[in-house]
């Protein structure tokens, strides 16, 4: 039966759909036009067409972006995206987070940044416009296809549209959709994941995606270089953009770390989680790319690696997308991933982009034909078998064909690069700057390789049927490899710049080297005492990091004569050194202060067990390291409960209150930490467990015991002593509007050092009938009734007491002191400033070179 629904606003969705299709088609048109414009440089018609269609594309993308925002801000819950990700009570800035919470929104964000980058490039890259934009348009085709939501046959879907209606996404036979005005029943959306309701979540995703998007620029330029045969000229315009990418991606990554530190309760800013790793690896390679580009610019060498790294950075961004979006990470990550059925599509895109450098490279017609034949045959075989076949044998064969083909093509590509650029002679003088930069780049590559290898275990398992999992102590494993690499890279940044390109006067250099190293040693010894680090390995890292700072400061002072405009690189290096010290000290000297000393573990529990969480009863004070900590009260604001945790320094006037909070729904606790920031350290606190009140209140009361009492009596119970202090003759509760006489018994319950008050009531109604109002003290586990009735000597007062286990409000909390973590954040800021200065300088260089 057809139901005609009422109250839906279908127009917005249709506009959205239309704009997605428009963006998709205009991207295709633009790509094709730019392709022909590249191959027929004289024909300006193609270029005009390409530009116009790119503008149409960009406007369409902005339109899609605005439409989705309208859905969210207008609370159009007939649309699945708005219903799933937002709710009415959210403030406007969190509604932005709703936008990028979903998969479609994050692809859209990427699409949007790419469009912005495309427009910027059209205005700035001059002769490189056609080939570079052609590559960008290709990514735009790919990304916008992810939003098409086009049904192919019954099961297969191209992309997932953010403009699907709720009733399309859910099964139509769901009872709610049987009524035409179902919308009236949908009062509110499901809301935003509480973990994402954080200031940093508003700006971290756009920054990160801008970083991801910019990584296409060196890739596109490298392809353009291979394609047009202007093999080397692309480096100059690409350099400032690559720096932009490094700067933005780096900022995005560290914002994610800061968000984790401020609002996740795993106790730190970095957990070597696959999602973090997947964004870090392209960044490391981009930094290496920048250094290789600089080498090339000054000496004309290392062009092959520059190509490889520029291409690999972007391929790794794609790979990262595949890892995080395809659901393959499954068991290995704490992030929950869902497979929207896009993994097949993502594989296809990786196929397409892998082909780009190869096809741009091969000029020989016969080779090109052969390559086309092989590649696309395998490609189609993959798609056909992937869709049609259910036979695992087919998949196994296909898998090996793919592996062999990609390995062979990679080697062939590198071989072709060598043929194109006959081994450019690197000056192998150890007095040359490029040698040290080259080594540094290789170590960055090693670092990236280790991280991506360990992150790819699930992929390796899937490919080779193996069964490996990340090491149980992942952090130790990563540190084992990354620490020596960090030491080497820090040292390289400290002395590399003193050498000139090609060769330098060693006498001059060696004086500066020795001078800065000597200062570094002195400072390192001082820092050793300041930070109280005694571990030799850590001290080496500390020395290396300090050397990086001193070396670069000295370089700015002596060699650059304080010219900050030229010092972008050095400043970034100083930032790196500061970051290293911050990371080292805050993690090596991090101190969990909530160590539980009181619990008797007996013999059964091994003493290795961690005791890092502390029980804090409401009203109690416990000692944690140099603080007296108490939990006084809690406040409920909206969905959050804020726990008032008070810290008082022992032997000093340090005193502060932290409000770690948690959202409790369906017995699930989402805890957010609260941190007291000092210049030299942070006190970080979060609640790791709270009592389940729904269960406790259902404990049954014991049988009541009746006591005859007179004023001043004390009744002792297992849950404390009850003192009958007085009778309140006018004990009418304010909430009751009955004009009865009510007598209240003023009771004082003394349980250890805790004292509670209670007032059970005895009422006499106007018709002289009697009743009682009980009083419950949950914290003491006591319930009281009070009445007066005839007894041996006239009338007497009676108190009836029931018992059950006491309910004490408590929190289980963990507190960590992170010393000198501000060095990390400060280092990041310095590093970003360094990148910014370098961008300005390299852009100027490029402008000047154009004028020449």
Partner 1 sequence: MKTINIIILVVIAAAIAIFAGAYTESSTYADFKKAKEDLGQEFHIVGRLNKLKPMVYEPLKNANRFEFYLIDSLGYEAKVIYSEPKPTDFDRSDKVVVIGKFEHKEGDFIATKILLKCPSKYEAENKTK
Comparing C-alpha atoms, which of 486, 470, 446 is closest to residue 273?
Answer: 470
The site map against partner 1 for 632-671 (x = CB under 8 A) is ----------------------------------xxxxxx
Distance in angstroms (rounded) separating the CA atoms of residues 235 and 796: 100
540 binds partner 1 (CB under 8 A): no
463 binds partner 1 (CB under 8 A): no
Instruction: Choose between 536 and 609: whose C-beta lies nearer to partner 1.
Output: 609
810 binds partner 1 (CB under 8 A): yes
30 binds partner 1 (CB under 8 A): no
The site map against partner 1 for 664-703 (x = CB under 8 A) is --xxxxxx----------------xx-x------------
Run of H or E including 615: strand 614-617
Distance in angstroms (rounded) separating the CA atoms of residues 408 and 370: 14
| Listed ranges 91-99, 727-735, 808-816, 817-825: which one lies at the site for partner 1 (CB under 8 A) | 808-816
Contact predicate 445/312, CB 8 Å: no
Contact predicate 535/588, CB 8 Å: yes
Who contacts 686 (Cβ-Cβ below 8 Å, separation ≥6)? Answer: 265, 267, 660, 671, 672, 673, 674, 813, 814
Rounded to a whole number of angstroms, the minimum distance from the CB of residue 275 to partner 1 is 14
Instruction: Choose between 338 and 716: whose C-beta lies nearer to partner 1.
Output: 338
| Listed ranges 168-176, 180-188, 246-254, 620-628: which one lies at the site for partner 1 (CB under 8 A) | 168-176
Rounded to a whole number of angstroms, the minimum distance from the CB of residue 79 to partner 1 is 14
Rounded to a whole number of angstroms, the minimum distance from the CB of residue 503 to partner 1 is 13
Instruction: Choose between 448 and 513: whose C-beta lies nearer to partner 1.
Output: 448
| Listed ranges 233-241, 360-368, 407-415, 593-601: which one lies at the site for partner 1 (CB under 8 A) | 593-601
Q: What angle do CA 348, 352, 353 make, to 5 degrees?
A: 120
Q: How many other C-beta atoms can be found within 10 angstroms of the C-beta atom of residue 692?
A: 11
Taking CB under 8 A as the criterion, the residue among 446, 483, 519, 588 binding partner 1 is 446
- How is residue 792 written in tokens? 């041996």
Beta strands in 140-195 (DSSP E): 150-152, 156-158
Contact predicate 22/53, CB 8 Å: no
Contact predicate 282/215, CB 8 Å: yes
Three-class secondary structure assignment of 306-352:
HHHHHHHHHHHHHHHHHHHHCCCCHHHCCCCCCCCCCHHHHHHHHHH
459 binds partner 1 (CB under 8 A): no
DSSP state of 189: -
Rounded to a whole number of angstroms, the minimum distance from the CB of residue 613 to partner 1 is 5
Rounded to a whole number of angstroms, the minimum distance from the CB of residue 495 to partner 1 is 16
Rounded to a whole number of angstroms, the minimum distance from the CB of residue 627 to partner 1 is 18
Rounded to a whole number of angstroms, the minimum distance from the CB of residue 456 to partner 1 is 9
304 binds partner 1 (CB under 8 A): no
The site map against partner 1 for 600-629 (x = CB under 8 A) is -x---xx--xxxxxxx--------------
Identify the residue whose tokens are 């000393």: 597
457 binds partner 1 (CB under 8 A): yes
395 binds partner 1 (CB under 8 A): no
Instruction: Choose between 439 and 483: whose C-beta lies nearer to partner 1.
Output: 439
767 binds partner 1 (CB under 8 A): no
| Listed ranges 236-244, 326-334, 643-651, 698-706: which one lies at the site for partner 1 (CB under 8 A) | 326-334
| Listed ranges 465-473, 640-648, 703-711, 786-794: which one lies at the site for partner 1 (CB under 8 A) | 465-473
Contact predicate 215/249, CB 8 Å: yes
442 binds partner 1 (CB under 8 A): yes
Q: How many other C-beta atoms can be found within 10 angstroms of the C-beta atom of residue 283?
A: 24
Beta-strand relationship, 761-764 and 741-751: antiparallel
- How is residue 214 written in tokens? 């910019």
Run of H or E including 851: helix 822-851
Per-position DSSP letters for 479-540, written without gaps between them: HHHHHHHHHHHHHHHHHGGGSPSS---HHHHHHHHHHHHHHHHHHHHHHHHHHT---HHHHH
Rounded to a whole number of angstroms, the minimum distance from the CB of residue 428 to partner 1 is 4
Instruction: Choose between 474 and 625: whose C-beta lies nearer to partner 1.
Output: 474
Q: State which of positions 70-89 bind partner 1 (CB under 8 A).
A: 84
Identify the residue whose tokens are 């600089």: 294
Distance in angstroms (rounded) separating the CA atoms of residues 107 and 146: 7
Rounded to a whole number of angstroms, the minimum distance from the CB of residue 478 to partner 1 is 10
Rounded to a whole number of angstroms, the minimum distance from the CB of residue 719 to partner 1 is 15
Run of H or E including 811: strand 810-819
Q: How many residues does the chain have?
A: 852
Rounded to a whole number of angstroms, the minimum distance from the CB of residue 171 to partner 1 is 4
Q: Give me the residues that bind partner 1 (CB under 8 A), please.
A: 84, 169-171, 174, 190, 330-331, 333-334, 336, 338, 340, 426, 428, 430, 435, 438-439, 442-443, 445-446, 449-450, 453-454, 457, 467-473, 477, 480-481, 596, 599, 601, 605-606, 609-615, 666-671, 688-689, 691, 808, 810, 812
């Amino acid at each position: 039966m057809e139901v005609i629904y009422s109250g839906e606003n279908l127009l917005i969705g249709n506009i959205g759909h239309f704009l997605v299709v428009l963006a998709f088609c205009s991207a295709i048109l633009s790509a094709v036009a730019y392709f022909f414009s590249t191959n027929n440089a004289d024909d300006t018609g193609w270029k005009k067409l390409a530009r116009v269609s790119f503008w149409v594309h960009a406007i369409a993308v902005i339109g899609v972006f605005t439409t989705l925002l309208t859905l969210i801000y207008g609370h159009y819950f007939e649309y699945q995206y708005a219903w799933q990700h937002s709710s009415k009570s959210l403030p406007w800035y969190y509604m932005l987070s709703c936008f990028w919470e979903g998969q479609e929104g994050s692809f859209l964000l990427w699409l949007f940044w790419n469009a912005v980058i495309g427009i910027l490039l059209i205005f700035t890259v001059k002769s490189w416009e056609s080939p570079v934009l052609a590559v960008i348009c290709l990514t735009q085709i790919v990304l916008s296809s992810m939003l098409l939501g086009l049904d192919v046959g019954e099961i297969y879907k191209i992309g997932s549209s953010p403009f699907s209606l709720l009733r399309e996404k859910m099964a139509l036979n769901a009872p709610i959709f049987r009524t035409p005005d179902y919308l009236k029943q949908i009062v509110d959306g499901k809301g935003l994941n509480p973990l994402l309701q954080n200031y940093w979540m508003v700006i971290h995703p756009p920054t990160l995606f801008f970083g991801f998007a910019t990584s296409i620029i060196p890739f596109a330029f490298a392809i353009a270089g291979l394609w047009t045969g202007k093999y080397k000229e692309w480096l100059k315009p690409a350099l400032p953009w690559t720096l932009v990418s490094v700067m933005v991606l780096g900022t995005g990554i560290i914002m994610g770390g800061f968000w984790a530190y401020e609002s996740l309760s795993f106790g730190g800013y970095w957990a070597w989680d696959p999602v973090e790793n997947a964004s870090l690896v392209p960044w490391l390679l981009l930094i290496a790319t920048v250094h290789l580009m600089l080498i090339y610019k000054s000496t004309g060498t290392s062009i092959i690696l520059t190509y490889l790294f520029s291409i690999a950075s972007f391929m790794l961004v794609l790979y990262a997308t595949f890892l995080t979006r395809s659901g393959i990470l499954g068991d290995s990550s704490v992030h929950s991933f869902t497979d929207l059925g896009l993994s097949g599509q993502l594989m296809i895109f990786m196929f397409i982009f892998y082909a780009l450098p190869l096809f741009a490279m091969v000029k020989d017609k016969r080779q090109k034909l052969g390559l086309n034949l092989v590649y696309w045959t395998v490609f189609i075989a993959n798609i056909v078998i992937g869709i049609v076949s259910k036979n695992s044998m087919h998949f196994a064969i296909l898998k090996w064909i793919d592996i062999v083909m990609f390995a062979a093509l990679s080697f062939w590509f590198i071989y072709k690069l060598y043929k194109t650029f006959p081994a450019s002679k690197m000056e192998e003088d150890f007095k040359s700057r490029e040698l040290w930069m080259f080594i540094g780049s290789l170590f960055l590559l090693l670092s990236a390789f280790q991280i991506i290898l360990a992150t790819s275990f699930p992929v390796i398992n899937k490919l080779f049927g193996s069964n490996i999992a990340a090491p149980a102590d992942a952090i130790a494993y990563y540190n084992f490899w990354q620490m020596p690499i960090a030491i080497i890279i820090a040292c390289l940044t400290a002395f590399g710049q003193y050498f000139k390109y090609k060769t330098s006067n060693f006498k001059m250099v060696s004086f500066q080297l020795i001078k800065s190293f000597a200062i570094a040693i002195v400072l390192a010894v001082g820092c050793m005492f300041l930070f109280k680090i005694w571990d030799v390995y850590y001290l080496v890292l500390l020395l290396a990091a300090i050397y990086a700072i001193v070396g670069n400061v000295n370089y700015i002072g002596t060699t650059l004569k304080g010219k900050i405009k030229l010092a972008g690189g050095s400043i970034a290096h100083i930032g790196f050194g500061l970051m290293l010290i911050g990371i080292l000290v805050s993690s090596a000297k991090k101190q969990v202060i909530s160590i539980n000393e009181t619990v008797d573990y007996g013999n059964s529990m091994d003493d290795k067990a961690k005791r890092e969480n502390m029980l804090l009863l409401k009203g109690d004070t416990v000692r944690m390291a140099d603080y007296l900590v108490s939990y006084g009260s809690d406040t409920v604001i909206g969905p959050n409960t804020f726990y008032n945790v008070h810290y008082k320094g022992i032997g000093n006037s340090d005193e502060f209150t932290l409000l770690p909070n948690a959202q409790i729904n369906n017995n699930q606790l989402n805890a957010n930490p609260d941190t007291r920031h000092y210049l030299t350290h942070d006190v970080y606190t979060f609640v790791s467990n709270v009592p389940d009140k729904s269960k406790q209140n259902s404990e049954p009361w014991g049988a009541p015991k009746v006591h005859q009492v007179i004023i001043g009596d004390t009744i002792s119970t297992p849950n404390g002593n009850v003192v009958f202090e007085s009778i309140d003759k006018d004990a009418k509760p304010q909430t009751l509007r009955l004009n009865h006489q009510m007598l209240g018994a003023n009771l004082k319950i003394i349980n250890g050092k805790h004292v509670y008050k209670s007032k059970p009531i005895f009422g006499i109604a106007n018709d002289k009938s009697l009743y009682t109002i009980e009083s419950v003290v949950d914290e003491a586990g006591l319930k009281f009734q009070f009445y007066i009735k005839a007894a041996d000597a006239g009338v007497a007062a009676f108190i009836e007491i029931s018992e059950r286990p006491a309910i004490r409000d408590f929190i289980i909390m963990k507190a960590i002191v992170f010393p000198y973590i501000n060095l990390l954040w400060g280092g990041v800021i310095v590093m970003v400033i360094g990148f910014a200065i370098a961008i300005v300088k390299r852009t100027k260089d490029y402008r000047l070179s154009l004028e020449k």
